[in-house]
Structure 1
């Protein structure tokens, strides 16, 4: 699945994807435009986007949800495992963010080291990789030239568990992500996506 046609997604206040002990388990962000395939055939997913970030934890990017091939796609029920990566508005600035959830969620956040032109947006990629130690999904911020070619991949995080069960006919749901966890506002978060593409083998 590949789309270079820009589109806009919106999230209402109080929407999020997050799980924190002992009892927090939120799964109410709007999910759409999902691309689904066998996990073992997943190669990469890329998204380019930007927004007017104003509220703490405003977020957008990619969402990856592995699940059994016999299960139904996640809707209102929180799945057991998931990964989200993109931009999150934290400490009054947009920052690179990746969250992996396997039982409970963890979170890594780092500052944008390259200036972002709002007209061009930021591009994130999750891609299958492997070496002598095994296989994993690496998350990168991509630096593109004016023609859209990748000139540099800035590594953000390696996620190993997501491919652990790929030989058991697992599928993967890949979606663009948008959420606005802040409840004390009445406005929606509007995110312009310039690209959302998924490559399956």
Structure 2
């Protein structure tokens, strides 16, 4: 997919925290949907002029029963990418089954990853991949370091998420679907401008 820019107004977020916080008002677009069983991977490369606490961008994945398409907000979701925290962007992954949990890690950019100052496009690449081994199935979240031609130089594991594939079918055989979207959000309500995120790429692969 060609490069594009998405915006998120102040006060937008996706977050669920006990006892009562359940926010789902980030702008969602360019969604790719398909059967959860056929999902293979999703990848996005993006950057922004991060400035406000919790500014965030990356990938959003929403698994749900096919009959629950109209349920809002969705019960389960995953978001992963970058989040601006303690004055700098961090690698970030949030998984929500009942309530959300959040993991963050330090970010350092190689020379090839630094976004060109005159373009504002480039930056970090995040990938979510279906994987399996002798212990079972899961989604793995990776940060990818790419070369100038887009080849993978290094695949850095960030998090394994197991619960999402436990419900590919419920007890009655109902099929689950997965929505995959680029993520942008600016939770800070006092911000005076929208967060603009430049996506160099966004791609989702499904089993044929």
TM-score w.r.t. length of structure 2:
0.92
Match of 2:137 in 1: 135
Provide Cα deviations, 1:12-32, integer angstroms capped at 9, x if missing partner: 000000000000000000000
Q: How many residues align?
A: 196
1:78 match: 73
Where do residues 29-68 of structure 1 align in structure 2 (5 Å cutoff)?
29-68=26-65
Residue segments in structure 2 that go unaligned for 5+ positions in a row = 117-121
- RMSD in angstroms over aligned alpha carbons? 1.1
2:24 aligned with 1:22: no
**1:180 correspondence with 2:175:** no
Aligned to 1:105: 100
1:105-152 deviations in Å (ceiling 9; x for gaps): 000000114434023211000000000000000000001111101121
Candidates 188, 193, 199, aligned match of 1:193 = 199
User: Is this contact kept in 2: 1:82–1:102, CA < 8 A?
Assistant: yes
Tell me the alpha carbon deviations over residues 84-115 of structure 1, each in whole angstroms, 9 at most, x when there is no partner. Answer: 00000000000000000001000000011443
Q: Return the structure number with greater strand share.
A: 1
**Structure 2 CA distance, aligned partners of 1:128 and 1:136?**
6
Q: Shift of the alpha carbon at 1:73?
A: 5.4
- Quote how far apart the aligned CAs of 1:166 are: 1.0
1:72 deviates by 2.1
TM-score scaled to structure 1, two decimals?
A: 0.95
Cα distance in 1 between the residues matched to 2:196 and 2:153 = 29
